[in-house]
Amino acid sequence: MSRSDLIYNIPFIGLKVGKHLFEYEVNDSFFDDLEYSLIQKGKVHVRLELEKKETMMIATFWAEGTVETECDRCTGPLELKIKGDYRLIYAFGHGESEDETLMMIDPDEYQINVKDPIYELITLSVPNRKIHPEGQCDEEMWKLVKAYTVNPEDEEEDFDPNEEWDDDDEEWDDEGDDPGDDEDDDEDDESAWSILKNLN
């Protein structure tokens, strides 16, 4: 574990039962440390509400900021605004969970590291369709991509920088969940809660 990873360690053993708020400023060095990161650069603010209970902890992450990745069309650098949330349950016990929203923690453990969940949240917040806005793609780079495509007949037709672009990206609701909200999340993972209903 690198020294930069240490800031993502949370020694929960000293935390009281209840909710605790943590904040992180994710920058380029965060992604540099991840060898296979799909994101090259970024500046993202992350908030974490960690609710500690007797037999589990519920971690709710919120992220908002910008990241730099590659355009799917011309492979040029592309800056995207992202916003999203993610919930992860840490349960004390032995073994491994097949549920990706449930992580088992050895009862003798005293801390958790939240770097991987933060990276997962950021990558999940990046839209599946990553392309420049209309007219901003690198036309020359697109032509090179077409020239070296193994099966060009399977690719899109010749690139027209002035063509109409469909933007199916969903707009974010500025009135989304916040650590201060008291309403329960109606989309809690039922499988995770069914496993844990007798633990709490």
- Would you say residue 29 has pLDDT above 50? yes
pTM of the model: 0.67
What is the C-alpha separation between 139 and 147, in angstroms, rounded? 12
Q: Are strands 102-105 and 77-92 parallel, antiparallel or unpaired?
A: parallel
Name the 3-class secondary structure at 114.
coil
pLDDT at 161: 47
Q: Are 92 and 102 in contact (CB under 8 A)?
A: no
- Would you say residue 77 has pLDDT above 50? yes
Q: With bands split at pLDDT 50, 70 and 90, how would you rate the model's confidence at 172?
A: very low
The mean per-residue pLDDT over the stretch 52-73 comes to 92
pLDDT at 179: 52
Q: Does residue 92 or residue 136 have the better pLDDT? A: 92
Q: Average per-residue pLDDT in the chain?
A: 78
The alpha carbons of the chain give a radius of gyration, in whole angstroms, of 21
Q: With bands split at pLDDT 50, 70 and 90, how would you rate the model's confidence at 191?
A: low
Provide, rounded to the nearest whole percent, the portion of the chain with pLDDT above 70.
70
The mean per-residue pLDDT over the stretch 15-32 comes to 93
